C-alpha cells in the first residue's frame, strides 16, 4: 500500500513538474527540483499526496564549485501512508536566495533560520530571518566549505604577551 | 562603540506586540542561567501581569560546531562527537550514526549485535526518561522523586560502564556491530534491573499520577492539537501526547525492532499531563522490549566480517598477513565510504533523530547534519505557552524534554 503510494507520487511529480531522479541519494527516494517550484511542489505534496510532515531540511556546500554551489535537501514524510521521500535543490552562486516554505510547513521556520545562519542561504518571505545558533553580530557562515575550521592558540608563559597583545586589539574591544 | 542593548531592541522589535512597544506589557529575560530551563536556554518573555503573551526562545549558547568539526575527522573518529550532542542518549546517537553509515556502505550487522544494540538503546531510553521525570517533577516542586530517579539511573549507567568502560560517552556501537562483545555479567545485571524496575515505576506513579497538586499544575496546560503538532514538525512523546501514534520503531523498524511485541502509548488532550503519561508508559514498554530481546539474545559474532570496515580480531593478526594489512589500513587511514548521501532517522527518547550523511568517496564525511528532536520540538514553545502563567512555563519546558547540547550541537 505505502510503496504504491510512493510510486504514484514520484510518477505524478515527474510528469507534472518535469523532475528527474537524484543519483546521489541512496535513501529516501529523491527527486531533483528547481528553486522556483519548491513552494508549489511542497503545497501539492502536503495537500494532494498527504506528505504532511517536513522531517528534514538541510544543505550541502560544494565550494569551490560554483554551479551548483549548494544543494538544499527537503525531506518529507507522510503520516497516513508511512512513506518518506526527499527533494534536492541545486543552487548557483555565492549569495543564493530562495522562497520560504514556512507557509506550508510552520516547522520549517527554525530549519531555514539555521540554513541562513550556517550557509548564508536567504529565504525570501521568511517571518523572522535572524541568526539562530551564532551570535547576532557574527560575520560569515560557518558551515560553508571556504570558512576555516579555526583554532585558538593556547596561551602559555612563553607566548603570553604575544597573544595578550592580539587579544586587546581594537577589534575585540568592540564586542 | 555600539550599545549591545540597542542592537537587540531594534532586532527584536518585530517579535513583540504593539503593546510591548507602548509599555503596556513587560519584557522579561528568563535564562540562560535559570535552573528550570534545563541548560542554557534563554527566553524573552512578554508578560501581561503573570500571563505570558509571547515568548521568544534564544538558543545557541551551547553551539560547539560539532557538524563542522565532524567534517574534518575520519568516519570512525567523528562518531565520538555524536555522543556529545544529546548527552542523555549517547547510545542512541551512536546507533543513528552507525545505521546511516551501514546504509551508505551496505554493511551487514550480525543479529547478536542488533539485539545488544536494542537492549542498550532501550535502557538508555529509560535512563533518559528518568532524568526527565526527576527534573520535571523537581520543577513542579516534587523534590523527592528526583533522588529516586537518579538512584535507578545509576544502575543503568553501571550496565553501560560494564559493557564499554564508560558511564556516559560510550561510543560502544561501531559501524558494522559493536566495539566488543558484552561481558558475562551483562545478562545478569540487565535481568536484575528488569526485576527491580517495574516496582519502582509503580512508586513514581504513586507519587505523581493521582497527586492533586501535580494534576492541577499539568492538566490543560501547554495544549497542542494533533494537526498543529504535525505542522510544527513535532515528534516523539510531544506528538504522541497529542494522539498521533508515530513511532519509528513501529513505522519504519530498524535494528530488528519488528521482532518485538510492544505498544505505542498515545495521549488524547496533548497537554503536559498526557505527555507525562506517555513517557511513563514508554518506560514500561521499553522494559517489555528489553525482556524479549534478552530472552532470545542470539549467540554469534558481535560485528561484521567485512574487513574493509571492521578491524580483524586480535588473534588473527599473528597468523594472517591479510589481517595485518587490513588492521594497518584501518588504523592509519580509516575506511572509505562510497559516494552518496542518505537520510536515516531513528526514534530517540525525545523524538525523531535523523542523520543526513554525505560522502564523496573519501575517508572523511563530506557533510553531516543531525536532525535533532530538541531543536525542532523547542520551536513549538511559543505556541505551547501562550496564555499560561510564568509558573506553568517551567512545566511546559520540562514536558517538551529538551537537551540543549542536542539543540545547539
Question: Do A110 and B376 count as a contact with CB atoms less than 8 A apart?
Answer: yes
Question: Do A26 and B103 count as a contact with CB atoms less than 8 A apart?
Answer: yes
CA distance B340 to chain A (A): 5
Residue environment code for B245-272, b if the CB has 16+ CB neighbours within 10 A, otherwise e = ebbbbbbbebbebeebebebbbbebbbb
Q: List CB contacts (< 8 A) between B374 and chain A.
A: none
B245 touches chain A (CB under 8 A): no
Cα Rg, chain B, nearest whole Å? 23
Question: Do A86 and B343 count as a contact with CB atoms less than 8 A apart?
Answer: yes
pLDDT tens for B156-197 read: 999 999 999 888 888 899 998 899 899 999 999 999 999 999
B231 touches chain A (CB under 8 A): yes
B116/B190 Cα distance (integer angstroms): 11
Whole-model pTM?
0.90
Q: List CB contacts (< 8 A) between A130 and chain B.
A: 11
pLDDT tens for B380-394 read: 999 898 889 988 888
B358/A59 Cα distance (integer angstroms): 11
Q: Does position B398 have pLDDT exceeding 70, yes or no? A: yes
Task: Calculate ∠ Cα B367-B368-B374, nearest 5°.
Answer: 150
Task: Write the CA distances from B292 to A116, B124, B184, B261, integer angstroms.
Answer: 46, 16, 18, 8
A25 touches chain B (CB under 8 A): yes
Q: Does position B110 have pLDDT exceeding 60, yes or no? A: yes
Work out the pLDDT band at B4, boundaries 50, 70, 90: very low
Q: List CB contacts (< 8 A) between B232 and chain A.
A: 106-107
Which residue of A60, A84, A105 is in closest CB contact with B233?
A105
Q: Which of residues 246-305 of B touch A (CB under 8 A)?
A: 246, 251-252
Q: List CB contacts (< 8 A) between B65 and chain A.
A: 142
pLDDT tens for A31-90 read: 999 888 889 999 998 988 889 899 899 999 988 887 888 999 999 999 888 899 999 999
A32 touches chain B (CB under 8 A): no
- Which residue in A58, A78, A112, A140 has the most chain B C-beta atoms within 10 A of its own C-beta, making it the best mutation to test that interface? A58
pLDDT at A168: 58
Q: List CB contacts (< 8 A) between B358 and chain A.
A: 24, 60
pLDDT tens for B8-44 read: 566 667 777 777 777 788 888 887 877 777 778 888 8
Question: Do A58 and B356 count as a contact with CB atoms less than 8 A apart?
Answer: yes
B80 touches chain A (CB under 8 A): no
pLDDT tens for B81-96 read: 999 888 889 999 999 9
Query: Could you tell me if B48 and B71 are in contact, meaning their C-beta atoms sit under 8 angstroms apart?
Result: no
Question: Do B343 and A149 count as a contact with CB atoms less than 8 A apart?
Answer: no
User: Looking at B246-339, which runs of residues are DSSP E strands?
Assistant: none
pLDDT at B49: 86
B361 touches chain A (CB under 8 A): no
Classify burial at A127, counting beta carbons within 10 Å of its beta carbon; exposed 0-12, middle 13-18, buried 19 or more.
middle
CA A36 distance to own-chain centroid: 16
Take residue B277 and report the three cell numbers written for it. Answer: 503519561
- Which residue in B66, B356, B365 has the most chain A C-beta atoms within 10 A of its own C-beta, making it the best mutation to test that interface? B356
Per DSSP, chain A holds a count of helices (H) and strands (E) of: 5, 8
B307/B324 Cα distance (integer angstroms): 11
Query: Could you tell me if B28 and B47 are in contact, meaning their C-beta atoms sit under 8 angstroms apart?
Result: yes
Which residue of A54, A82, A143 is in closest CB contact with B251?
A82
pLDDT tens for B255-301 read: 989 999 999 999 998 899 999 999 999 999 999 999 999 998 999 99
CA B33 distance to own-chain centroid: 22
Closest listed residue to residue B109, CA positions, set B252, B296, B251, B298: B298
A133 touches chain B (CB under 8 A): yes
For chains A and B, count residue pairs whose Cβ atoms are closer than 8 Å: 108
Q: Closest-CA residue in chain A for B2?
A: A174
Angle between helix B272-295 and helix B111-139 axes, rounded to 10 deg:
150
Task: Write the CA distances from A57 to A53, A73, B3, B56, B66, integer angstroms.
Answer: 11, 6, 35, 22, 18
B237/B279 Cα distance (integer angstroms): 7
Q: Phi/psi at B405 (nearest 5 deg)?
A: -65, -35
pLDDT at B345: 92
Task: Calculate ∠ Cα B67-B69-B75, nearest 5°.
Answer: 85
Q: Does position B122 have pLDDT exceeding 90, yes or no? A: yes
Question: Do A105 and B231 count as a contact with CB atoms less than 8 A apart?
Answer: yes
A107 touches chain B (CB under 8 A): yes
Q: List CB contacts (< 8 A) between B378 and chain A.
A: 110
pLDDT at A37: 87
Q: Closest-CA residue in chain B for A107?
A: B232
Classify burial at A161, counting beta carbons within 10 Å of its beta carbon; exposed 0-12, middle 13-18, buried 19 or more.
exposed
| Mean per-residue pLDDT over chain B, rounded | 88
B118/B260 Cα distance (integer angstroms): 10
B158/B42 Cα distance (integer angstroms): 34
CA distance B367 to chain A (A): 7
A73 touches chain B (CB under 8 A): yes
Q: Does position A174 have pLDDT exceeding 50, yes or no? A: no
Q: Find the mean pLDDT for residues B362-366.
A: 91
Q: List CB contacts (< 8 A) between B103 and chain A.
A: 26-27
A174 touches chain B (CB under 8 A): yes
B64 touches chain A (CB under 8 A): no
Q: Closest-CA residue in chain B for A74?
A: B343
Q: Phi/psi at A54 (nearest 5 deg)?
A: -90, 105
Query: Could you tell me if B266 and B278 are in contact, meaning their C-beta atoms sit under 8 angstroms apart?
Result: yes
Q: List CB contacts (< 8 A) between B356 and chain A.
A: 56, 58, 73, 75
Euclidean distance between the first and the last CA atom of chain B, given in angstroms as a whole number: 31
pLDDT at B94: 93
Take residue B287 and report the three cell numbers written for it. Answer: 522494559
Query: Could you tell me if B234 and B380 are in contact, meaning their C-beta atoms sit under 8 angstroms apart?
Result: yes
Query: Could you tell me if B364 and B74 are in contact, meaning their C-beta atoms sit under 8 angstroms apart?
Result: yes
pLDDT at B5: 45
**Which residue, chain included where needed, has cell 544543494?**
A71
Q: Find the mean pLDDT for residues B92-121.
A: 92
Q: List CB contacts (< 8 A) between B361 and chain A.
A: none
Cβ-proximal residues to B1 (8 Å cutoff; 6+ apart), any chain? A173, A174
Query: Could you tell me if B283 and B126 are in contact, meaning their C-beta atoms sit under 8 angstroms apart?
Result: yes
Q: List CB contacts (< 8 A) between A56 and chain B.
A: 343, 345, 354, 356, 369, 371
**Which residue, chain included where needed, has cell 574591544?**
A173
Amino acid at each position: 500500500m505505502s510503496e504504491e503510494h510512493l510510486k504514484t507520487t514520484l510518477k505524478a511529480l515527474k510528469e507534472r513538474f518535469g523532475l528527474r531522479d537524484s543519483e546521489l541519494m541512496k535513501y529516501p527516494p529523491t527527486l531533483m527540483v528547481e528553486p522556483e517550484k519548491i513552494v508549489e511542489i511542497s503545497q501539492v505534496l502536503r495537500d494532494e499526496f498527504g506528505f504532511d510532515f517536513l522531517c528534514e531540511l538541510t544543505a550541502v556546500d560544494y565550494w569551490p564549485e560554483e554551479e551548483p554551489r549548494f544543494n538544499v535537501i527537503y525531506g518529507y514524510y507522510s503520516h497516513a501512508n508511512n512513506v518518506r521521500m526527499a527533494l534536492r535543490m541545486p543552487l548557483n552562486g555565492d549569495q543564493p536566495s530562495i522562497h520560504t516554505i514556512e507557509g506550508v510547513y510552520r516547522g520549517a521556520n527554525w530549519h531555514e533560520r539555521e540554513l541562513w545562519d550556517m550557509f548564508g542561504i536567504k529565504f525570501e518571505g521568511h517571518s523572522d530571518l535572524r541568526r539562530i545558533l551564532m551570535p547576532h553580530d557574527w560575520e560569515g557562515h560557518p558551515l560553508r566549505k571556504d570558512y576555516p575550521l579555526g583554532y585558538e592558540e593556547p596561551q602559555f608563559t612563553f607566548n603570553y604577551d604575544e597573544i595578550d597583545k592580539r587579544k586587546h586589539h581594537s577589534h575585540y574591544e568592540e564586542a | 562603540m555600539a550599545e549591545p542593548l540597542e542592537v537587540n531592541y531594534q532586532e527584536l522589535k518585530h517579535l513583540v506586540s504593539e503593546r510591548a512597544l507602548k509599555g503596556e506589557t513587560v519584557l522579561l529575560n528568563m535564562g540562560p542561567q535559570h535552573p528550570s530551563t534545563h541548560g542554557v536556554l534563554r527566553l524573552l518573555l512578554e508578560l501581561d501581569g503573570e500571563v505570558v503573551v509571547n515568548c521568544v526562545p534564544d538558543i545557541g549558547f551551547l553551539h560547539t560546531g560539532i557538524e563542522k568539526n565532524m567534517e574534518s575527522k575520519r568516519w570512525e573518529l567523528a562518531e565520538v562527537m555524536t555522543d556529545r550532542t544529546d548527552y542523555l542518549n549517547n547510545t542512541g546517537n551512536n546507533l543513528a550514526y552507525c545505521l546511516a553509515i551501514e546504509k551508505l556502505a551496505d554493511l551487514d550487522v550480525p543479529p547478536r549485535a542488533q539485539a545488544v544494540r536494542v537492549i542498550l538503546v532501550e535502557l538508555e531510553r529509560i535512563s533518559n526518561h528518568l532524568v526527565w521525570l526527576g527534573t520535571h517533577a523537581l520543577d513542579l516542586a516534587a523534590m523527592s522523586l528526583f533522588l529516586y530517579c537518579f538512584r535507578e539511573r545509576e544502575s543503568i549507567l553501571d550496565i553501560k560502564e560494564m559493557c564499554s568502560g564508560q558511564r556516559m560517552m560510550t561510543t560502544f556501537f561501531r559501524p558494522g556491530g559493536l566495539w566488543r562483545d558484552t561481558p558475562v555479567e551483562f545478562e545478569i545485571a540487565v535481568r536484575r534491573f528488569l526485576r527491580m524496575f517495574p516496582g519502582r515505576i509503580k512508586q513514581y506513579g504513586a507519587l505523581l499520577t493521582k497527586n492533586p497538586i501535580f494534576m492541577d499544575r499539568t492538566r490543560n496546560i501547554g495544549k497542542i492539537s494533533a494537526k498543529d503538532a504535525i505542522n510544527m514538525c513535532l515528534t516523539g512523546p510531544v506528538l504522541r501526547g497529542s494522539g498521533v501514534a508515530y513511532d519509528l520503531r513501529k513505522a519504519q523498524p530498524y535494528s530488528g525492532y519488528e521482532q518485538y511485541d510492544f505498544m505505542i502509548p498515545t495521549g488524547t488532550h496533548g497537554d503536559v499531563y498526557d505527555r507525562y503519561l506517555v513517557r511513563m508508559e514508554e518506560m514500561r514498554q521499553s522494559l517489555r522490549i528489553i525482556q524479549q530481546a534478552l530472552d532470545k539474545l542470539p549467540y554469534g559474532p558481535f560485528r561484521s566480517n567485512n574487513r574493509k570496515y571492521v578491524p580483524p580480531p586480535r588473534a588473527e593478526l599473528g597468523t594472517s598477513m591479510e589481517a595485518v594489512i587490513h588492521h594497518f589500513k584501518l588504523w592509519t587511514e580509516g575506511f572509505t565510504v562510497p559516494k552518496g548521501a542518505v537520510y536515516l532517522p531513528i526514534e530517540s527518547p525525545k523524538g525523531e533523530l535523523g542523520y543526513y550523511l554525505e560522502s564523496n568517496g573519501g575517508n572523511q564525511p563530506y557533510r553531516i547534519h543531525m536532525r535533532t528532536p530538541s531543536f525542532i520540538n523547542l520551536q513549538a514553545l511559543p505556541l505551547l505557552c501562550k496564555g499560561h502563567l510564568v509558573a506553568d512555563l517551567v512545566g511546559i519546558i520540562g514536558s517538551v524534554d529538551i537537551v540543549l547540547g542536542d539543540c545547539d550541537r
